[in-house]
Structure 1
């Protein structure tokens, strides 16, 4: 049995073809280029480069002032844009520090003619007549009291206002009675006296009138009653009546 196995191996070995030597001079064909791969991801930003050299000209390197002079001409101004929306109101700020006191004002001065200075250029009065008797025709209306009289340019007992400060004044009156009444404002500065009347039977009579006057120093203004369509019975009336006469300086100035 063992002799048979060895004989079989010898037969197989003897049946193999003889080994041949490879030819080293043989060469294969070149392969093709491979396909391009997909783009890679972006890399990190590079570091900042160094500052370059100044610009060079025929005369040498340029300075920053030279570069500014190379700036182009200013273009024409463009059209104005539309206004934007109004912003919100800001919060109120804190109070500031109190400022120093101002210099003292000039003292009051009077001119050689004795007229009042601008600091004294003020005048106002309000007089009230409470007398129940009918004011006599074509006579100055007098008054029982004054509510305001600064600085005493009006005389209630005589009914005259005497101008102390030249300027423009406003005078007005209001009356209330149970009988027809006519009143007018009179002055030496008027060529004609503006008159006012009210006729309304069987009810209270309310009458008002006013005038603006330019007065010189010393000129007077007063209120007086006059007759128009009143009856003798009206002139004898002794029921309650009230007349208020007002006047004040609007602004001073030479006439």
Structure 2
């Protein structure tokens, strides 16, 4: 019975506070009960990243700081843009010699090799007996093989050559020698009657090595001469087959 009066008095006090002013309500009402706790609020926003802390200290004074184990490699990133070209480096040492190549075709390698010459002697003066026959003008010299200063053919392309001369003579006998490196290969002589004029000739195939020479000399008879447009003495040669 007593408990019912307490509850009734509390409700009456609450209604008095809600419906009428405090002046009409009896003073000294009992305080109400605590309210029910509210729900937990949401987490606040994440704060700014703090500064990197100092390395930790070892647990014991005699211990040194140890690095942790290396972590796994990360995913390979996208290739960057190509950089500027660097300066040219120093020349490297020569490489090793390559292996010998296949032998070339003989026909293909020597088909372009040519050698031919013709030189002429234009003077009425007879050369000295047993002496070099000198020629004054070059008519043809494809490979520049005839040395006009020496009046000798100098071989540049090894092979077989054919040499021939046409010599004008007058009133004197004539002998012409074909010389190969100081070796007399052939002698051609023409004996004449006094007052006659004629042309003699001779030729020979000779195998030559590089830098070997061929030239003409007179024998004891030296009736070689030339007379303007009437007579010439010519020495010629050409390559037959290169080796």
TM-score normalised by the chain length of structure 1: 0.47
Which structure shows the higher strand fraction?
2
TM-score normalised by the chain length of structure 2: 0.49
State the structure with more CA Rg: 2
